[in-house]
Structure 1
Amino acid sequence: MKIQWFILLIIAIACSQPITGQDKKVGGPCEGCEAIHESPLPFDKLETLAKLPDATWTGKKPLGVNGTVYKADGKTPAPGVIIYVYHTDETGHYVAKADAKGWERRHGLLRGWMRTNEKGEYKFVTLRPAPYPDRTEPAHIHVTIKEPGLTEYYIDEYVFDDDSLLTTNKRQKLENRGGSGILKLKDVGNMYKAERNIYLGKNIPDYPTNQ
Structure 2
Amino acid sequence: MLYWTAKTNSKTASDKVGMVGGPFENGEFMYIGMPEHINAIDTSAGWPQKGQKLLITGTIYKLDGITPAPNVILYYYHTDINGVYSGNQALDPRVVRHGYIRGWVKSDSNGKYAIYTVRPAPYPNSKFEAHIHPSIKEPNIDKEYYIDEFVFDDDPLLTAEKRKKLPNRGGSGILRSYTKDDLQIAVNNIILGLNIPNYPETL
Alignment TM-score > 0.5, same fold: yes
TM-score range, shorter chain: 0.7 to 0.9
Q: Which of the numbers 90, 96, 106 marks the counterpart of 2:87? A: 96
**Hey, what does 2:40 align to over in structure 1?**
48
Check if 1:74 corresponds to 2:68.
Answer: no
Aligned-pair CA distance for 1:38: 1.7
Query: What per-residue deviation string (whole Å, max 9, x for no partner) do you get for residues 150-209 of structure 1?
Result: 110000000000000000111011000000000111110131100100000000000000
Q: Distance in 1 between matches of 2:113 and 2:134?
A: 13
How high is the TM-score relative to the length of structure 1? 0.85
Moved more, 146-155 or 102-111: 102-111
Conservation of the 8 A alpha-carbon contact between 1:135 and 1:165: no
Counterpart amino acid of 2:41?
L
Q: Which of the numbers 103, 109, 112 marks the counterpart of 1:121? A: 112
Conservation of the 8 A alpha-carbon contact between 2:61 and 2:67: yes
Q: How many pairs are equivalent?
A: 191
Conservation of the 8 A alpha-carbon contact between 1:71 and 1:200: yes
**Hey, what does 1:138 align to over in structure 2?**
129
SS at match of 1:178: coil
Equivalence map 1:8-27=2 (5 Å): 19-20=10-11, 24=15, 25-27=19-21
Aligned-pair CA distance for 1:101: 2.4
**Hey, what does 1:30 align to over in structure 2?**
24
Query: What per-residue deviation string (whole Å, max 9, x for no partner) do you get for residues 8-59 of structure 1?
Result: xxxxxxxxxx9436854300011121112124412xx200001100113x86
Equivalence map 1:150-161=2 (5 Å): 150=141, 151-161=143-153
How high is the TM-score relative to the length of structure 2? 0.88
Residues 198 and 167 from structure 1, CA distance in 2 versus in 1: closer, same or farther, beyond 3 angstroms?
same
Residues 35 and 176 from structure 1, CA distance in 2 versus in 1: closer, same or farther, beyond 3 angstroms?
same
Structure 1 alignment gaps of length 5 or more: 1-17
Q: Which has the larger radius of gyration?
A: 1
Conservation of the 8 A alpha-carbon contact between 1:96 and 1:104: no
Structure 2 alignment gaps of length 5 or more: 1-8
**Share of identical aligned residues, percent?**
45
Residues 147 and 174 from structure 1, CA distance in 2 versus in 1: closer, same or farther, beyond 3 angstroms?
same
Aligned-pair CA distance for 1:145: 0.2
Check if 1:195 corresponds to 2:187.
Answer: yes
Moved more, 155-164 or 32-41: 32-41
Q: Distance in 2 between matches of 1:59 and 1:152?
A: 32
